[in-house]
Amino acid sequence: MSVAPMMDYTDRHCRYLLRLLSPSALLYTEMITSAAIVRGKADRLLAYDPAEHPVALQLGGSDPAELATAARIGAEFGYDEINLNCGCPSDRVQSGRFGACLMAEPSLVAECVSAMKGVTDIPITVKCRIGIEPSPIADDYEFLHGFVSRVAQSGCDIFVVHARRAVLNGLSPKENREIPPLRYDVAAQLRGDFPQFTFIVNGGIRTVDEVRDHLQHFDGAMLGREAYHNPYILAQLHESIIDPQWTPPAREDVVARYAEYCAARLAEGHRLRTMVRHVQGLYAGLPNVRAWRRFLSEKSGQPAATAGLLMDALRIVEQAA
C-alpha cells in the first residue's frame, strides 16, 4: 500500500497525519525538482519527521548528473526510496523536460535511473503512465512494454503505473486524472511479461474492495486523492489487507495526536492553516462533517489561533454523534 505523490497535498504535515492512520503505507513526498535540491534548498525541501518512515522522495528532472546529486542528497537525508516522475502531464513540468513527456525518451530515463543508482543503494523507482498522447506508437501496451523494457536495463525493477494515458496537449493536470479512460487491463499485462519486477497500480482507486481486486493482478496499490479526501481509508486498508489483528485508531485519538504535532511545529514557525487543512477529510461521510470543515477553515486563519482549535472542532463532531 502506498499514497501517491500529490503536488500541494503530500507535504510533511500531510504525511505525518497519514502515518497516524497507517503504520505501513509507503508515503511519497510531493514532486521536488532535482534543480531545487541541488541549488541549496535541500534543508527546507527535504525536512520531515522520523515518524513518517517509510517515506519516498519523488524527483522531477531529466539531467542524469543533476538527478544523481539530488538522489544522493535525498539518501543522506534518510529517505527510503527515490522515485523519478515520468507521469505528470502539466505544461510547466513539460517545459522543464520532465514528467510524462519523458516516456517518449526511455533511453534518457534509463540513463537518469542508472546515474541515480550509481550514487546510492536505496531503491530507485519510476512512476509513469500507460502511455502518452500524442504517442509515437498507437498501441498503448506496445508503447508501455517498450518503455519498461528499456528502463529496466538500467537496473530499475519497481514501476508505479498510473493506468491512464497522459494527454500532453489540451488537458489540464486535473482533466488528465479524469478524462483519459482507466485501462487497468493494459497495466496488468506487465506482470505476465516481466514477472521478475514489481508493479504498483495507481489511478481511480477509492475502496478497500477495489484494492483487494487489484492485488490479484499487481504487487501493490497506490491511492491518490481518495487517501487525501478520506484519509481514514488507510486505517481500514491496513486492518483489512495487511493485519486483521490490528485495531484502527479512533478518529478522536488521531485528532489529539495531530494537535500535539501541530503545536510543536507552530513553535518552529510553521503556519497553522497549512497544517490544519490536511485533517479536514478525516470525518468524511460522518455526521456534521461540514461543520467540522467550516470551523477548521474559518478559525485556522485567525492570528490568535492555536493547535487547540482542533480539539474545539472535535467537540462539534462529538456533539453531532
- Which are the catalytic amino acids? 88
Q: Is 5 marked as binding a ligand?
A: yes
Would you give the DSSP letter of residue 137? S
Q: Is 203 marked as binding a ligand?
A: yes
Q: Is 54 marked as binding a ligand?
A: no
Q: Is 311 marked as binding a ligand?
A: no
Q: Residue 117: which of 62, 160, 154, 77 has the closest Cα?
A: 154
* Contact assessment for residue 36 and residue 63, using Cβ atoms and an 8 Å cutoff: no
Write out the three cell numbers for 108.
534518457
What lies within 8 Å, CB to CB, of 211 at 6+ separation is: 1, 205, 221, 223, 237, 241
How far is residue 12's CA from residue 7's CA, in Å, rounded to a whole number?
A: 12
Q: Is 225 marked as binding a ligand?
A: yes
How far is residue 256's CA from residue 316's CA, in Å, rounded to a whole number?
A: 14
Q: Is 165 marked as binding a ligand?
A: no
Q: Is 41 marked as binding a ligand?
A: no
Residue-by-residue DSSP string for 267-315:
HTT--HHHHHGGGTTTTTTSTTHHHHHHHHHHHTTSTT--TTHHHHHHH
Q: Is 162 marked as binding a ligand?
A: yes
Q: Is 301 marked as binding a ligand?
A: no
Residue set of the binding site for FMN: 5-7, 58, 127, 162, 202-204, 224-225
